[in-house]
């Protein structure tokens, strides 16, 4: 009588002939949404034969990056699930993950003035993909000298949901190199996030763009600075900073583009300001590590 079949982890012996069992991979190590800034690492369970060194990849490393040993760096919120993959000997296993927490980045504001000022952007979603339930306070600390070493806080509006980005430009504060930490309490949980500002990184002014305004909308033609991902236009009656109307910051791939004012603009003379940014403020896309803004102040125009 023949001996019973013997199955090992690597070999299947049939009729005295050893055959390699097919390789299978299972990717794990993380469950549920991944919190920004918190440690996480993938694990791989392999059965069968033929495996070598696993190779990890992420479908969106700007949001979740993966190192050669499977260590994850959860960097930003993503509006879509991120697919993490491992491949060995031509066999691939995947795992979809989402992210949550406080998404925070710093950057520079470039205007006609010689001062390169400070900008902060922020997004938030809890593990259930909810935003803040009520207007909240986002506090920021930074390197020595930031905000003259006084406490600094930003109002985080409950109108900002998961995929909406808040931007706060501090035009009277010079951009300082270094690390910044933001703190937000939502739903009884305190979230923290870090950002680094490089004051030498600026978005040039939109000197190649032309803006034509009516009482209903604005058309931008020409060219935008390299790196600009979105734009909007504001209209001021007399002084820079006292605005009476603005357009929505839509993603921009090419010009020309026409945007409507948030409310009809009465006929009159206005100072227009064209703002370009290195990120999109709407649902698409992942926030960059540094967000830069440029404000190009245009000549006064008569709108009718």
Task: Tell me the domain boundaries of the chain.
Answer: 6-97, 101-197, 209-303
Q: Which residues contact 61 (CB under 8 A, 6 or more apart)?
A: none
Q: Which residues contact 302 (CB under 8 A, 6 or more apart)?
A: 268, 269
Q: Do domains 6-97 and 101-197 have the same CATH topology?
A: yes
Question: Rounded to two decimals, what is the model's pTM?
Answer: 0.83
CA dihedral over 69, 70, 71, 73, signed as positive or negative: positive
- Cα(297)–Cα(4) distance, integer angstroms: 85
pLDDT of residue 239: 61
pLDDT of residue 187: 87
Q: Are 209 and 221 in contact (CB under 8 A)?
A: yes
pLDDT of residue 146: 94
The CATH number of the structural domain formed by 6-97 is 2.60.40.1080
Which of 232, 228, 229 has the alpha carbon at shortest distance from 213?
A: 232
Which of 89, 104, 303 has the alpha carbon at shortest distance from 212?
A: 303
- Ranges of the chain with pLDDT below 70: 1-20, 50-51, 160-165, 239-241, 253, 281-284
The CATH T-level fold of domain 101-197 is Immunoglobulin-like (2.60.40)
Q: Which two tokens stand for residue 38?
A: 């918190």
Q: Which residues contact 300 (CB under 8 A, 6 or more apart)?
A: 269, 270, 271
Alpha helix stretches (DSSP H) within 1-127: none
- Using alpha carbons only, what angle is made at residue 75 by residues 74 and 76, rounded to the nearest 5 degrees? 110
């Amino acid at each position: 009588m023949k001996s019973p079949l013997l199955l090992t982890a690597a070999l299947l012996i049939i009729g005295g002939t050893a055959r390699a069992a097919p390789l299978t991979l299972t990717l794990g190590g993380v469950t549920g949404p991944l919190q920004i800034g918190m440690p996480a690492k993938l694990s791989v369970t392999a059965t069968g034969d033929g495996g070598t060194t696993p190779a990890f990849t992420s479908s969106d490393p700007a949001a979740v990056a993966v190192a050669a040993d499977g260590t994850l760096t959860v960097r930003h919120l993503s509006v879509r699930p991120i697919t993490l993959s491992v491949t060995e000997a031509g066999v691939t296993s995947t795992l979809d993950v989402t992210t949550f927490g406080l998404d925070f980045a710093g950057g520079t504001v470039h205007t006609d003035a010689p001062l390169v000022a400070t900008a902060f952007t922020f997004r938030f979603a809890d593990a259930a993909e909810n935003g803040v339930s009520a207007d909240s306070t986002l506090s920021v600390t930074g390197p020595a000298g930031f905000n003259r070493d006084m406490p600094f806080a930003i109002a985080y509006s409950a109108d900002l949901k998961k995929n909406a980005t808040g931007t706060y430009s501090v035009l009277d504060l010079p951009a300082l190199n270094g690390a910044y930490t933001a703190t937000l309490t939502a739903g009884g949980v305190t979230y923290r996030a870090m950002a680094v500002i490089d004051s030498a990184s600026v978005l040039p002014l939109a000197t190649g763009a032309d803006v034509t305004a009516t009482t209903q909308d604005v058309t931008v033609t020409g060219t935008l600075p390299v790196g600009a991902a979105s734009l909007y236009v504001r209209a001021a009656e007399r002084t820079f900073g006292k605005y009476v109307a603005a357009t929505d910051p839509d993603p921009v791939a090419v010009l020309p583009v026409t945007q409507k004012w948030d409310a009809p603009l009465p006929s009159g003379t206005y100072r227009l300001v064209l703002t370009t940014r290195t990120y999109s403020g709407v649902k698409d896309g992942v926030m960059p590590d540094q967000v830069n803004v440029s404000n190009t102040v245009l000549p006064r125009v008569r709108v009718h």
